[in-house]
Structure 1
Amino acid sequence: MIDTGQDVVGMRIARQFWNEESGSISPFATVLMMTILVLGIIPGIATLRDHIVQKFGDMAVALESIDQSYSMTVNGVTSEYVDTNSLTDPVGEAPACLDLTISPSGE
Structure 2
Amino acid sequence: MKMFQQLWNDENGFVVSTELVLIATVLVLGMIVGLTTLRDQVIAELADVAAAISNTNQTYTFTGITGHSSSTAGSIFLDNEDFCDAAPAAGADEHCIAIVDPEAEL
Question: What is the letter of the counterpart of residue 56 of structure 1?
Answer: T
Q: TM-score, normalised by structure 1?
A: 0.51
What is the root-mean-square deviation in Å for CA atoms of aligned residues? 2.9
Question: What is the letter of the counterpart of residue 58 of structure 2?
Answer: T
How many residues are treated as equivalent by the alignment?
A: 72
Distance 1:75 1:21 in 2: 89
Gapped regions of structure 2 (runs ≥ 5): 62-75, 88-96
Gapped regions of structure 1 (runs ≥ 5): 1-19, 94-107
CA distance change for structure 1 residues 62 and 81 in 2, over 3 Å: closer, same or farther? farther
Asked if 2 retains the 8 angstrom alpha-carbon contact of 1:73 and 1:81, the reply is no
Structure 1 segment 35-50 matched on structure 2, within 5 A: 35-50=15-30
- Residue 45 of structure 1: CA displacement? 1.6
Q: TM-score, normalised by structure 2?
A: 0.51
- Residue 92 of structure 1: CA displacement? 2.1
**Which of 1 and 2 has higher RCO (CA within 8 Å, sep 6+)?**
2
Question: What is the letter of the counterpart of residue 47 of structure 1?
Answer: L
Give me the identity figure in percent. 6
Structure 1 segment 11-22 matched on structure 2, within 5 A: 22=3
Structure 1 segment 42-61 matched on structure 2, within 5 A: 42-61=22-41
